[in-house]
Amino acid sequence: MAKLSDRQRKQIIAEYVEGDGKVSQRSLAKKYNVCLSTISKILSDEKVEQKCTHKKEENTLSMLEYLDSRKNAAQALMEKILSLSEKDIEKANLRDKMGALKILAEVFAQTKDADNKNEKSALDKIVDGLKELK
């Protein structure tokens, strides 16, 4: 097993933080030819945990900004979907119909679960989001 330089330690932390949960400690140990416990010690530092939390917050904000920028396109697409005639729906292949049915079933199942817990359901959130788009 090799001894890590300060630069390698920083690279490990950067890879782990940037990996956003997709880079395992085991893969880092293998890549840097060190024990898993060495990687664990490096990453257990409070500053590393703060960096991971901060990176997750940045990613969430970035995604929300992206979704916000796409509101008009989403609204236009929803309008097209909602304006389909029954004939268009009848023409759709079975896979597409089943996919739409599955999505609706999941949304309504979440709605029922949320109602039982007195929470806002996925359907309520979708409706709220559509109201905001107007």
pLDDT string in tens for the chain (134-residue length) = 668 888 998 899 888 888 867 889 999 999 999 999 999 988 888 777 788 788 878 877 887 788 778 777 777 776 777 677 677 777 888 888 788 778 767 766 665 565 666 666 555 666 666 566 54
pTM of the model: 0.43
Close Cβ partners of 28 (under 8 Å, ≥ 6 residues apart): 12, 15, 16, 39
